[in-house]
Structure 1
Amino acid sequence: MSRRASILGLAVAAALLALGLQSWGLAQALVERHVVAGIEKRVGLKVTSLKRAEIALLPLPRISLSGVTFASPDGALSGTALRLRARARLLSLVGGQLDFDRVDLIGPEVDIVVPNEPESYANWVAPPLAYLSALKGETQLVISSGSLMARSGNTILTTLRDVNLVVEERDAAGPVAFAGSFTWRGETTKVNLLWPVTGERARVALALSSNLMSLRLNGSRSGAQGVTTGQVEFTAPSLPDALAWIGPRPRIATLVRRVELTAEAQLAGDNISLSNVIAKLDGDQLEGALKLDGGGGARRVLSGTLAGADFDLGRLIRQGGDQQPPGTGEAGETPLEFDSWTAHDVDLRISLDAARLGPARLADLAAQLMVRKGRFEASVLRASAYGGSARARLLATSVPTGAEVKVQLGLDRVNLAQAGSDLPDLLGSLTGFASGQIALDGVGDSFEQVVGSLTGRVTANLRQGEFKGASFAELLRRAERPVAARDWRQGKTSFETAQVTALAHRGVLTLTDAQMAGSGYALSLSGSADLGRRWLELAGMLSATNGPARAAFEVRGPFTDAVFTPTLDAVVHPTGSTSQLPR
């Protein structure tokens, strides 16, 4: 070949290369005939309009459509895109056919039509999954900087923003597979999904993660029954925050913070059944079975049975109180928020080998939580407590003035010496065996109103114990011989029996019968306890059983720091003369 021919060939090749790299505007009718039809075939979206079309042949054949409007054949999906790019397969072009191995939607805004009722997450994801599953095979579909809106009529139910997804190429029998990220309700979320199209018990996998929660599912799906089964893992650093992100936060969820859960799951629509559950709630482990019934509406039902070796019940109470919002009524009032506590139905039964309630310890505990619309009930059906037993019940029902609250507590032969080792501030100076019952009713729309309206009865019986901080024997001896008596505040007093009966009315407990008896003395009490103010006003008379000595006294002050003080004219000598009590 001559030098001139070589130069001419290189010039022609360079010209062809330049032409191939150049984007060329084409007539819209020609694009719709040859290009748009090929895109529609591969991605199942019908292009209804476009502003401009361009084609470049080198280095790879590619088509670019600007200002595109599109819709699925059934109308479930529709939208616009700033640009649609399609990369043609070179070999198919050589063979005289137009096919694509990748389609990019840049800046799309996609509307997804979902049924209005029932409103559920399953309804939101069903249309796009149905669209992808119905394709006989699609090319790789890439969505960049898009948004997806679930819409019912003119109402936008939810929106995914900053959507960046890659839907992998598949054949007719292959599973739908996509991965990427989006922003939902202000949280960046990563997603990875494998969804079967054909076959029974075909593999399904889902991974969803954000800063608020992580969810993984690995299992199989029965296409005929529409049931998915498999291993599920769920983690949330704060369950209330995660649920508030997903949807309305149930008030009862504030009882728990960090949750780590694994289980065998069965999912059918909005109904979820979990077996072999291993749940760590703030570090305490429970095992059992749970079921969440979506109910086809906003009100959901959680039921199940759980068991554990050790659990901190006191933490649940503290965390529920920590989330209590500021009062909206009188200054200092704490609203009950009864409607939010009963927003969802709950039926949970819990068995614990050991439980903690603050510093107190219980064993062999069986508890139940029952929540219905307008009704909240939490019960300790049985529990071993320091050699004895305990039971408790809290029942609240909706009334026009707020909530009617019933509190019941029963103790039987609780060893106070053992309890005092865990509760030194409350029982450290008291021993004996205690039995008793509390039954109080109140009504109101705040904690303070309920306490201020309490009515009912309190009874307590103690046997064979003693208390420190007061020596009744020395106090009586001082009544007889003040000079010879020692300081009564440094001693202790044993008792054979002690019993208290009190009636509550409008938040005030009034003693109707309060007596204590021991070796050489008898004591009687009268007075009241204001539950709202947490204040004691008691008066007593201490009498010697083997002589005429008597001493009157009063107990006055807050519940946790009341002062025991003999009155000024309290000491009565055997002769009947009185003298001032030495301090």
Structure 2
Amino acid sequence: MTRRAAILALCLLTVLGLFGLQSWDVAVGRVERRAVAAIEEKTGFVVGTIERAEIAFLPLPRISLSQVGFSQRDGALAGKAARIRAHLRLLPLLSGRISFDRIDLVAPQIDVAVPAGSGVAEWLAPPLAELERLRSQSKIVVQGGSLFLRAGSAIQSVVRDLNLVIDERSLNEPLDLSGSLTWRGVPTEVGLRWPMIGGSAKAALSATSPLLKLRFDGTRSGPGEPVINGLLALSTPSVPQLLGWFGEDSRLAAALGALTLSAELQLKPHEASFNNAVASLDGERLDGVLNLTESNGRFALAGTLAGATLDFGRLIDRLPIAAVDAADTSPFDLDGWTGREIDLRISVDAARLHGARLNDVATYLLIRKGRFETGLLRAATYGGSVKTRLLAVNAPAGVDVKLQAGFEKVNLAQAAGDLPQLARLSGTGSFQLALDGAGRNFDELLGSFAGRANLSLRQGELAGVAFAELMRRAERTPSQALRDWRQGKTPFESLNVNASVGGGLFALNEAQMNGQNYRFSLAGTASLRSRILDMTASLASANGSLKLPFVLKGPVSAPFFELETEAFLSPVGGSALPALLTR
């Protein structure tokens, strides 16, 4: 035997001899009782039931308890583990004392009592408070556990595949936790450092999953109601999916896609303030402040953000907004849009709205229970300005809706470069629209709308028709008048439209376009429900000696516009009538 082997053998014999000097009466449960008392002291759990207890000294000393029932002293947490393994410290064991280096909870099923309708912060508070009361704590390892969050007999949520390590700590040292879990089907890596003393102490939180990357580093001050301050960094590929993971179903959140957020976070009970916040929505940066509060289970978000660019059209297109259709008799659900209070102001240097380019934009979103309001406070566009306002409020008749929109000094020719639907009309002018109505569905709302619309343009052109040329031909060569009048453009000096809305109809009170040698007038109605036009028009010479009647009928999307030859009014003397009726 070598000298080294002899020394090791002597040490082993010495240790075994010391063990032999102690009384290890497992049969009578002495070790079991002492082990349970030590486990309770180091974990904060009260052990209720044990099916079997075992002790082993090799290769390392440990105590194993099978089918163990346990709970926290305040009853906030209870559960059952298939096995609890307590790894004994060697030196205390030589003197007959039981002390643990590590305690393993194997396949535990843990029930945590939580208030009904509460959130993650309320779920964590009772277990953390119980751990905070411990003077010291052994290293606790949870392997393959499940966590059931219950409000009474109802399960609020379930955490599966729970694998956590809670590091050993002494008096006043922070709680350090790390590991992995699966919550609502999403595997997540987590880390937490939580101070267990009053005053200012470091706190940290991290979480990584396919839906979320979060990191917070800061301090918690206490005692009493703690205040947490620090730097927050958060990113998600999809805000709606992230909120859905936390059980939030927000229709407005559907407007958002990928988000990254960094901010100076101050967290108080029922309030979170995000100062110097930098948010990136699909790569577009917004800076400002945000504040999130909670009262009686109702969340409220307020804030002011500013940035260089923002695509409002992309945000609106993502919203689950139903198309305006009188055939859709499903009732309005305004409560589904106003479940969370919001007071948000956004300003950007430049914005896009379905192709339109806006500059110096200030917009807002104001939501209260049963009240939805949004609009453009200001925006410069194509040499002019535009404003809008939409207000929807719950009312006895259903939903009361007010819509206001208008622009001033806008050059439509410039706008047509970005908005092809305006390509047929040019000129510079203004537009005003004001509607007010109430209903339980689209049919009732469209039938109740009352309001007005005004359009005024100067020095422009109407493409697709050649009224000026048609009038010249009719006056000079009647036989050629009706040829090719649907081609070319009609320049005008002024275009004015005044309309009223009521009883489900859009009625033209005055609609006139004037050029150098003609005057075009349009009158009639359009049904808001069916979107069918029923209008007549008249093209007259400047001196009124010649009038050409038109009819405008059919669906708004594809109307029928044609000369009404049967009701033709010939020039004075009637000599041109036969020629004008000849094609």
TM-score by length of 1: 0.90
Q: Indicate whether 1:127 and 2:123 are aligned.
A: no
Once the two structures are overlaid, the 10-residue window that deviates more, 476-485 or 389-398, is 476-485
Q: Is the 8 A contact 1:259 1:281 kept in 2?
A: yes
Contact preservation (8 Å) 1:218, 1:230: yes
Q: 1:511 aligns with which of 508, 512, 525?
A: 508
Check whether the contact 2:86–2:103 (CA below 8 A) recurs between aligned residues: yes
Summarize the alignment of residues 25-424 of structure 1 with structure 2, pairs less than 5 Å apart: 26-27=26-27, 29-115=29-115, 119-198=118-197, 200-224=199-223, 225-297=225-297, 299-321=298-320, 332=328, 336-424=332-420
Relative distance call for 1:488 and 1:46 in structure 2 (3 A) is same
Q: Which residue of 2 aligns with 1:576?
A: 574
1:521 matched to 2:518: yes
Native 8 Å contact 2:251 2:320 kept in 1 = no
CA contact (8 A) 1:196 1:202 kept: yes
Change beyond 3 A, Cα 1:170–1:551: same
Paired AA for residue 163 in structure 2: N
SS of equivalent to 1:294: strand
1:453 alignment partner in structure 2: 448
Partner deviation per Cα, 1:220-261 (whole Å, 9 max, x = no partner): 111235011111122222212211221231222122122221
SS at match of 2:309: strand
In the alignment, the residues of structure 1 paired with residue 534 and residue 544 of structure 2 have an alpha-carbon distance, to the nearest angstrom, of 28
1:469 aligned onto 2:464: yes
C-alpha distance in 2 between matches for 1:582 and 1:228 = 87
Q: Would you identify which runs of 4 or more consecutive aligned residues in structure 1 move more than 6 Å?
A: none
Corresponding residue to 1:479 among 474, 480, 505: 474
Conserved? CA contact 2:326–2:446, under 8 Å: no
Report SS of the residue matched to 1:310.
strand
Instruction: State the Cα distance separating 1:419 from its structure 2 match.
Output: 0.9
1:535-583 deviation per Cα after TM superposition (whole angstroms, max 9, x unaligned): 3332111111146122111233443443432122336244324235455
Could you report, residue by residue, the CA deviation over 1:294-341 in whole angstroms, capped at 9, with x for unpaired residues?
1141x210101111111111122211136x6x99x9964565421110
Paired letter, 2:457: L
Question: Quick one: percent identity of the two aligned structures?
Answer: 46
SS in 2 for 1:436: strand
Q: Distance in 1 between matches of 2:76 and 2:108?
A: 16
Q: Is the contact between residue 326 and residue 443 of structure 2 (CA under 8 Å) also seen in structure 1?
A: no
The answer as to 2:549 corresponding to 1:552 is: yes
SS of match in other structure, 2:564: strand
Structure 2 segments unaligned to the other structure (5+ residues):
none
SS for the counterpart of 1:300 is strand
- Find the aligned partners of 1:207 and 1:60 in 2 and give their Cα distance: 34
Q: How many residues align?
A: 564
Q: Aligned letter for 2:88?
A: A
Aligned to 2:487: 490
Tell me, yes or no, if the aligned pair for 2:468 and 2:515 is still in contact at 8 Å: no
Further displaced range: 513-522 or 313-322: 313-322
Q: What secondary structure sits across from 1:450 in the alignment?
A: helix
The whole-number CA distance in structure 1 between the counterparts of 2:582 and 2:287 is 63
Residues 1:541 and 2:543 are matched in the alignment: no
Asked if structure 2 preserves the Cα contact closer than 8 Å seen for 1:503 and 1:510, the reply is: yes
Tell me if the contact between 2:432 and 2:454 (Cα under 8 Å) persists in the aligned partners. Answer: yes
Contact 1:392 1:410 in 2 (8 A): yes
User: Aligned AA for 2:446?
Assistant: V
Range with greater deviation from structure 2 (73-82 or 62-71): 73-82
Cα gap change, 1:288 to 1:523, in 2 (>3 Å): same
**Does structure 1 retain, via aligned residues, the 8 Å contact 2:468–2:491?**
no
- Secondary structure of the 2:430 match is strand
Counterpart CA distance in 1 for 2:273 and 2:442 is 36
Distance change >3 Å, CA 25–CA 310, structure 1 → 2: farther
Report the CA distance shift for 1:563/1:285 in structure 2 as closer, same or farther (over 3 A): farther
Deviation at 1:125, TM superposition (A): 0.5
- Give the SS at the match of 2:201: strand
Deviation at 1:93, TM superposition (A): 1.1
Contact 2:505-2:527 within 8 A present in 1 as well? yes
Q: Distance in 1 between matches of 2:557 and 2:381?
A: 22
- CA deviation after TM superposition for structure 1 residue 397, in Å: 0.5
Residue deviations 1:137-181 (CA, integer Å, cap 9, x gap): 211101112122233333433322221111111111221011112
Secondary structure class of the residue paired with 1:390: strand
SS in 1 for 2:453: strand
Q: 1:546 to 1:400 in 2, by over 3 A?
A: closer
Conserved? CA contact 1:479–1:573, under 8 Å: no
Q: Deviations over 1:357-392 (max 9, x none)?
A: 101111111111111111100121111121111111
Q: Structure 1: give runs of 5+ residues left out of the alignment.
A: none
* RMSD of equivalent CA atoms: 2.7
The 2-side partners of 1:190 and 1:401 are apart by 51
Does residue 532 of structure 1 match 2:524? no
Q: From the superposition, tell whether residues 516 and 539 of structure 1 become closer, same or farther in structure 2 (CA, over 3 Å).
A: same
> CA separation in 2, counterparts of 1:445 and 1:515?
36
Q: Which moved more, 1:391-400 or 1:474-483?
A: 474-483
Quote how far apart the aligned CAs of 1:469 are: 1.7
Shift of 1:427: 1.3
SS of residue in 2 equivalent to 1:250: coil
AA of the residue aligned to 1:54: E
Q: Report the residue type matching 1:434 in the other structure.
A: G
C-alpha distance in structure 2 between counterparts of 1:581 and 1:153, whole Å = 86
> Which digits, 9 at most, give the CA deviation of each residue in 1:269-305, with x for residues without a partner?
23111011111123322111111101141x2101011
